[in-house]
Protein backbone atom coordinates (compact mmCIF):
# COMPACT_ATOMS: atom_id res chain seq x y z
CA UNK A 1 0.00 0.00 0.00
CA UNK A 2 1.42 3.37 -0.91
CA UNK A 3 1.82 6.14 1.65
CA UNK A 4 -1.17 8.23 0.48
CA UNK A 5 -3.57 5.30 0.71
CA UNK A 6 -2.12 4.25 4.05
CA UNK A 7 -2.64 7.78 5.40
CA UNK A 8 -6.28 7.56 4.31
CA UNK A 9 -6.66 3.98 5.61
CA UNK A 10 -5.14 4.42 9.09
CA UNK A 11 -7.85 6.73 10.56
CA UNK A 12 -10.47 4.26 9.31
CA UNK A 13 -8.58 1.49 11.06
CA UNK A 14 -8.66 3.47 14.31
CA UNK A 15 -12.41 4.06 13.92
CA UNK A 16 -13.02 0.37 13.21
CA UNK A 17 -10.87 -0.67 16.17
CA UNK A 18 -12.93 1.59 18.43
CA UNK A 19 -16.11 -0.01 17.10
CA UNK A 20 -17.24 3.18 15.39
CA UNK A 21 -19.43 2.86 12.30
CA UNK A 22 -17.90 3.43 8.89
CA UNK A 23 -19.85 4.66 5.88
CA UNK A 24 -20.30 2.20 3.04
CA UNK A 25 -17.49 3.86 1.06
CA UNK A 26 -15.20 3.96 4.11
CA UNK A 27 -15.94 0.30 4.86
CA UNK A 28 -15.15 -0.73 1.30
CA UNK A 29 -11.88 1.22 1.30
CA UNK A 30 -10.98 -0.09 4.76
CA UNK A 31 -11.67 -3.73 3.83
CA UNK A 32 -9.70 -3.47 0.59
CA UNK A 33 -6.78 -1.86 2.42
CA UNK A 34 -6.83 -4.51 5.13
CA UNK A 35 -6.74 -7.28 2.52
CA UNK A 36 -3.87 -5.56 0.74
CA UNK A 37 -1.86 -5.20 3.95
CA UNK A 38 -2.39 -8.87 4.79
CA UNK A 39 -1.23 -9.90 1.30
CA UNK A 40 1.86 -7.69 1.63
CA UNK A 41 2.67 -9.27 5.00
CA UNK A 42 2.47 -12.73 3.48
CA UNK A 43 4.78 -11.72 0.62
CA UNK A 44 7.37 -10.50 3.12
CA UNK A 45 7.31 -13.80 5.00
CA UNK A 46 10.26 -15.24 3.06
CA UNK A 47 10.72 -18.84 4.30
CA UNK A 48 14.51 -18.66 4.03
CA UNK A 49 14.63 -15.46 6.08
CA UNK A 50 12.26 -16.97 8.65
CA UNK A 51 14.53 -20.03 8.94
CA UNK A 52 17.53 -17.76 9.46
CA UNK A 53 15.71 -15.85 12.19
CA UNK A 54 14.65 -19.08 13.92
CA UNK A 55 18.24 -20.34 13.81
CA UNK A 56 19.47 -17.04 15.29
CA UNK A 57 16.87 -17.26 18.06
CA UNK A 58 17.97 -20.82 18.86
CA UNK A 59 21.63 -19.72 18.95
CA UNK A 60 20.87 -16.82 21.28
CA UNK A 61 18.78 -19.08 23.53
CA UNK A 62 21.69 -21.55 23.80
CA UNK A 63 24.09 -18.70 24.55
CA UNK A 64 21.71 -17.35 27.18
CA UNK A 65 21.46 -20.78 28.84
CA UNK A 66 25.27 -21.06 28.89
CA UNK A 67 25.61 -17.60 30.42
CA UNK A 68 22.94 -18.36 33.03
CA UNK A 69 24.80 -21.53 33.98
CA UNK A 70 28.09 -19.64 34.24
CA UNK A 71 26.40 -16.96 36.37
CA UNK A 72 25.10 -19.63 38.76
CA UNK A 73 28.58 -21.13 39.04
CA UNK A 74 30.11 -17.73 39.78
CA UNK A 75 27.41 -16.84 42.31
CA UNK A 76 27.94 -20.19 44.06
CA UNK A 77 31.68 -19.57 44.15
CA UNK A 78 31.12 -16.04 45.49
CA UNK A 79 28.80 -17.28 48.27
CA UNK A 80 31.33 -19.96 49.24
CA UNK A 81 34.10 -17.36 49.48
CA UNK A 82 31.86 -14.96 51.41
CA UNK A 83 30.90 -17.70 53.86
CA UNK A 84 34.58 -18.21 54.70
CA UNK A 85 35.03 -14.47 55.30
CA UNK A 86 31.83 -13.30 57.05
CA UNK A 87 33.33 -10.02 58.26
CA UNK A 88 34.48 -8.99 54.80
CA UNK A 89 32.15 -6.56 53.08
CA UNK A 90 32.64 -5.05 49.68
CA UNK A 91 31.20 -1.63 48.86
CA UNK A 92 29.53 -0.83 45.55
CA UNK A 93 32.83 0.43 44.09
CA UNK A 94 34.38 -2.98 44.64
CA UNK A 95 36.99 -2.01 47.23
CA UNK A 96 37.23 -3.37 50.77
CA UNK A 97 35.29 -1.44 53.40
Quick one: average pLDDT of 62-81?
95
- Listed by start position, the domains of the chain span 3-44, 46-84
Integer-rounded Cα Rg, in Å, for the chain is 28
Q: Model-level pTM?
A: 0.45
| Sign of the torsion formed by the C-alpha atoms of 34, 39, 41 and 42 | positive
Residues 6+ apart with CB under 8 A from 34: 9, 13
Q: How far apart are the first and last CA of the chain?
A: 64
Per-residue pLDDT of 24-45, as tens digits, reads: 999 999 999 999 998 887 766 6
Amino acid sequence: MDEANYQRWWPLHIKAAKGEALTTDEQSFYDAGLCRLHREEQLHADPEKLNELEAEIARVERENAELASKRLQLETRLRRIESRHPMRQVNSAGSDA
